[in-house]
């Protein structure tokens, strides 16, 4: 079993800074009307970035192994959030935008399928409680 650790320290109000085993610091905060100073990303927003970063890393690695020439990848995440507390995400859509020349749909679809179904640990954790969908566009550049 692998043990991972995180450390979070209050700076003031609900402004926190934290780091994990990779030793990179990040600031988290809330809005001023909720005791924050609006000085950092919201903790729940980090979940969306984690999902995009995790699946994006997988997709890029898979396409590189397939020798697909990709100029760029952008990922847009749209999440529906419950209005009452706890204000959890109920649906998340991942939109992949692939930029490049002669990118085959079958390669893109397989890379997304492998990431979402096998490799992306963030997807694996979230999909137990949130509906996750995806779509993609290939944009010739």
12 & 80 share domain: no
At 102, phi and psi to the nearest 5? 60, 45
120 & 60 share domain: yes
List the beta strands (DSSP E) in the chain. 6-12, 15-20, 25-28, 72-81, 89-100, 131-140
pLDDT of residue 141: 86
| Domain ranges, residue 6 | 1-41
126 & 61 share domain: yes
16 & 57 share domain: no
Give the CATH number, domain containing residue 132.
3.30.300.20
- Residues of the chain under the 70 pLDDT cut: none
35 & 66 share domain: no
Count structural domains, the chain: 2
37 & 49 share domain: no
pLDDT tens by residue, 14-42: 999 999 999 999 999 999 999 999 999 99
13 & 31 share domain: yes
Report in angstroms the alpha-carbon separations of 123 from 22, 27, 39. 21, 24, 28
**Beta 72-81 vs 89-100: how paired, if at all?**
antiparallel
5 & 67 share domain: no
């Amino acid at each position: 079993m692998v043990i991972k650790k995180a450390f979070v320290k209050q700076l003031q109000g609900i402004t926190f800074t934290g780091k994990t085993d990779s030793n990179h610091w990040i600031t988290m905060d809330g809005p001023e009307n909720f005791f924050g100073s609006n000085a950092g990303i919201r903790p729940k927003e980090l979940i969306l970035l984690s999902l995009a970063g995790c699946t994006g890393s997988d997709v890029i690695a898979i396409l590189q192994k397939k020798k697909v020439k990709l100029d760029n990848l952008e990922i847009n995440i749209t999440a529906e959030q419950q209005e009452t507390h706890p204000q959890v995400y109920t649906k998340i859509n991942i939109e992949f935008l692939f930029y490049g020349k002669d990118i085959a749909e079958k390669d893109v679809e397989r890379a997304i399928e492998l990431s979402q179904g096998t490799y992306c640990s963030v997807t694996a954790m979230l999909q137990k409680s949130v509906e996750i969908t995806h779509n993609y566009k290939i944009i010739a550049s």
